[in-house]
Chains A and B, each alone.
Chain A
Amino acid sequence: MRVAEAWRVALDALRANRLRSALTMLGVIIGVASVVLLVAIGTGTKQKVEQQVEGLGSNLLLVVPGKIEVGTAPVVSPLTLKDVDAVSRVVGDPQRVAVTVASGATARAGARSDFTTVQGVLETTPAVFTRSLARGRYLTGTDVDTSRRVAVLGDSVARALFPDRDPLGQQVTLAGVRFRVIGVFAPLGQSLGVDRDDEVHVPVTAAQRLWGTQRVDGIAVKAPDRERIDELGERIVAELNRRHPDTEFSAVTQQQILGVLGDILGVLTGVLTAIAGISLLVGGVGVSNIMLVSVRERTREIGLRKAVGARPRDIGVQFLLEAVLLTTIGGLTGMALGVGTALLVDALSPIPAAITWWSLALAFGVSAAVGIVFGVVPAQRAGRLDPVVALRAE
């Protein structure tokens, strides 16, 4: 009964001051909407990165010189194709081993040019990584063995150089040397802001000749089974360490990559969400402020209610409810706004956003909590008012 009255009065108070209530809610709305939006973007990005890393192919093991740690300087690779052969022997199947030696280069075709990444690779690449062609064919063993100057273009490179022509059979110039286009990759899209279609694959032997090097940057292995992937990694690293005692090597799995990327994204999302949380806090201070005004304005009403039998708690609950209503209505509106914006961002921009139920529950819970935390002081003040003084107030 008394709680029903408190609800009625709290709603009535909000209705009586529509503009003030709306402006007070705005602080909470902005705070909650930002939290929901940023969590959605963080979650969406993480999901997309996971998809892409998974999409590289399953049971992938990447072997690179140096340590895989944030902040370590890249190491110049001592690896050569002879090391690749050694790794193939460890794995037992050359078809499961891929390599890369990569460098930025300008690709030209006629009057058009495009700065892109040229990757020297083995013919095994499509089997190790999950890549498929839109047109033409991929490199063959013969292409690699004979350092043939043939190239497979990424989707963006093909569009940039041959916007109105079929690239197959055309000539492209990479770092001043002519290559013939034999295939075009199916598009992959973007990952962490990087255009994954902006690359050109050529035989590793041709690439090494192009840059005058024997080096191989990294080796990728598709392990036969998931259970023994770590053990295989250890054996490969041991073999490479035997061959190059001065260099450290690391073998990382997709799970480890996902872990590292997830950590980075988690920290990023956390920091952004905390900043959004601060705006929610500021919204809460606004609620506290307006509740103190409300208590002052209605001091006579409080006095009258006390005179006719309202206990301090009845008055306190009434004002606490008013504060909680302000923040939860604001919270629900903010959630709707945040979800709407996230859906728009996801649909209209390259930034992915994914709504999760827990972020909505959290946002609602936090907005209700903000109402309680920031409503308690004004509510207590109202509840403790001396009825004699309150009745006499202006």
Chain B
Amino acid sequence: MTGPPPAIEAVDVSRTYQLDGVSVEALRGVSLTVRPGDHVALVGPSGSGKSTLMHLLGGLDRPSGGRLVIGGRDVSVLSPPEMATLRNETIGFVFQAFHLLPRTSAVENVALPLVYRGVSARQRRERAAAMLGRVGLGHRLDHRPNQMSGGEQQRVAIARALVTEPTVLLADEPTGNLDSVTGAAVLELLEQLNAESGVALVMVTHDQEVAARAQRRITMRDGVVVADSDAPHDRPLSVDHGRPETLVPAPSAEPRSVSGSGPGHPSGGSGGAAGATGRLPHRPAPADATPTPASGRGADDADAVTNGGSGS
């Protein structure tokens, strides 16, 4: 395969847990490649291994078998401190539950990863403040998490994930704890940042509609990838959403304009139905993020909560 070197490459990766002496195979031979600038949606039912895969891709965990290369480094040879440095340099995390430090201002929360990179206090604040400006919170620098709405908190978390300029942004149900309007805005922001900065965005979601907006969709079930729109030829897939053309474009070749979108576009409006029927055509204007506050999202939120509780 040609093109830029992959940001993350997993080859036949498996992950087995020991639970009360019983082996549980959370992942069974997953292969996939995340390239710089990718926009990937990771979907699948609860317990399908999505979260386990995210943890592996983010370098929080190590595979029991197979080969996992993050940022050009094989994680099997890395010590825990080296893994920590690798996460700091290449990965940004956005969690469903925000995971902001309490009693700590927005700007300090955002600056946290820079602390572990050894950046000076002044530079930390400058860069964190600039990043907060990019997520639209330039006026909230010294607010604490308990003084901010859920949407604002998630924006702070996104700024924290991106302040280190990582190559991959991993978002695990980033809108799961948000109402639909706020969630849509957060999604827009993520997509915009993905398009602007070229950071690869890998997002776990239960929302078919959200998944449909991704450039690429990976479906998991029972610890294996059952569909990857990026690699239709690699394996026999039970559900084929493959679009060969998505293999080709470089990140910058398909800029998404977010500025033009807004609640004024009712075009994608059939809610859950759109998600259920499959992905929408991949178009510049992701206006379909906002219009279904009541019908589709309510159910998805409930689903997300269930998933968050059971883990993988």
Q: Which residue of A lies closest to B309 (CB)?
A: A392
A-B residue pairs, 3 tightest by C-beta: A309-B88, A309-B116, A308-B113
A12 touching B60, Cβ below 8 Å: no
B58 at the binding interface (Cβ < 8 Å): yes
B120 at the binding interface (Cβ < 8 Å): yes
B39 at the binding interface (Cβ < 8 Å): no
CA gap between A386 and B87 in the complex, in Å: 14
CA gap between A312 and B87 in the complex, in Å: 13
Indicate whether A307 sits within 8 Å of B116 (C-beta atoms), given known contacts A312-B81, A312-B84, A388-B61.
no
CA gap between A306 and B103 in the complex, in Å: 19
Q: Cβ of B118: which chain A residues have Cβ within 8 Å of it?
A: 1-2
Q: Cβ of B235: which chain A residues have Cβ within 8 Å of it?
A: none
8 pairs of residues in contact across A and B, judged by CB atoms under 8 Å: A301-B101, A303-B99, A304-B101, A308-B160, A313-B81, A314-B116, A387-B60, A388-B55
B107 smallest CB distance to A (angstroms): 14
Q: Cβ of A305: which chain B residues have Cβ within 8 Å of it?
A: 112, 116
Interface residues on B, range: 20 to 34
CA gap between A391 and B118 in the complex, in Å: 23
CA gap between A313 and B89 in the complex, in Å: 18
B101 touching A1, Cβ below 8 Å: no
B147 at the binding interface (Cβ < 8 Å): no
Pick the contact of B60 from A16, A310, A313, A388 — CB < 8 Å?
A388
Q: Cβ of B112: which chain A residues have Cβ within 8 Å of it?
A: 304-305, 308
Residues of chain B from 81 to 127 with CB closer than 8 A to chain A in the complex: 81, 84-85, 87-89, 93, 95, 99, 101, 103, 112-113, 115-121
Q: Cβ of A2: which chain B residues have Cβ within 8 Å of it?
A: 115-116, 118
B109 smallest CB distance to A (angstroms): 10
Over the window 257-297 of chain A, the binary record of Cβ atoms lying under 8 Å from chain B Cβ atoms (1 yes, 0 no) is 00000000000000000000000000000000000000000
Q: Cβ of A145: which chain B residues have Cβ within 8 Å of it?
A: none
A302 smallest CB distance to B (angstroms): 11
Pick the contact of A16 from B58, B81, B103, B164 — CB < 8 Å?
B103
Over the window 69-91 of chain B, the binary record of Cβ atoms lying under 8 Å from chain A Cβ atoms (1 yes, 0 no) is 00000000000110011011100
Indicate whether A311 sits within 8 Å of B116 (C-beta atoms), given known contacts A304-B99, A391-B99, A392-B311.
yes
Known pairs A2-B118, A305-B116, A306-B87; list 4 more (Cβ under 8 Å).
A308-B87, A309-B117, A310-B84, A311-B84
A11 smallest CB distance to B (angstroms): 12
Indicate whether A312 sits within 8 Å of B60 (C-beta atoms), given known contacts A300-B99, A304-B99.
no
A30 smallest CB distance to B (angstroms): 30
Pick the contact of B88 from A1, A5, A308, A387 — CB < 8 Å?
A308
Q: Cβ of B80: which chain A residues have Cβ within 8 Å of it?
A: 311-312
Q: Cβ of A313: which chain B residues have Cβ within 8 Å of it?
A: 81
Pick the contact of B93 from A4, A308, A386, A392 — CB < 8 Å?
A308
Pick the contact of A306 from B60, B95, B120, B311 — CB < 8 Å?
B60
B85 touching A311, Cβ below 8 Å: yes
Pick the contact of A1 from B87, B95, B115 — CB < 8 Å?
B115
B286 smallest CB distance to A (angstroms): 28
B297 smallest CB distance to A (angstroms): 24
A391 touching B101, Cβ below 8 Å: no
Q: Which residue of B lies closest to A307 (CB)?
A: B93
Q: Cβ of B117: which chain A residues have Cβ within 8 Å of it?
A: 309
Q: Cβ of B81: which chain A residues have Cβ within 8 Å of it?
A: 311-313
CA gap between A313 and B164 in the complex, in Å: 21
A12 touching B103, Cβ below 8 Å: yes
CA gap between A175 and B164 in the complex, in Å: 97
B144 smallest CB distance to A (angstroms): 12
